[in-house]
Amino acid sequence: MARARARARAATTELDSNARRRAQLLEQAKADQRELRAKLDLIPILEEALQKEHEAVESWTKCLEDAQDFIREVDVEKAKIKKQICESLEHFPRRLTCPLMRRAVGFQEKIADSRGRVRDMITDTQMKLAASKGRIDTVRLKLQVTKRRVQYLRRKIKATEKPLAPSIHTSTE
């Protein structure tokens, strides 16, 4: 009699552990499906963020090019004005050259100041451009990781659905 009870208890314990294992697998499959849905929702958000960062890089690059063009134009204008001043000084009497030179020096200082502000703007823009590129790398990496995780979850869910389906049917019969 004791043997029969021991066998019956062993059979129920084994059945309970199998049912518990199936329940754990089913719960894990549900959790994987929830994670898959969340990751699938995250992908378009990351792609949009990546697109916006690319647009920011294009904008900063354009701003940088404009600033560099401005500096080139200022340098060309400065050279023209300097040449005109030198030519004008040749025609003026000696007593008028000093005030003209002071004015020319003041004008060159204003140009240098303006050029310095543009240089500061260029430096600032370059920093923003570098930060945007860094964010692009981060978002791109996160997007790749998310896509790989989605592929893994899809394979995992597909693999767990096959063995679970027959075992669920056998346990309900």
pLDDT, tens only, 44-59: 999 998 899 899 889 8
Structure token pair of residue 97? 């050259």
pLDDT tens column, 79-103: 887 787 777 766 666 555 566 666 7
pLDDT at 148 over 90: yes
List the domains of the chain with CATH numbers: 2-172 (1.10.287)
pLDDT at 166 over 60: no
How far apart CA 99 and CA 105 sit, in angstroms, is 10
Helices (H), the chain: 2-91, 94-172
On the 0-12 / 13-18 / 19+ scale of CB atoms within 10 A, 125 is buried
Q: What is the pTM of this model?
A: 0.58
Interval 151-159 mean pLDDT? 88
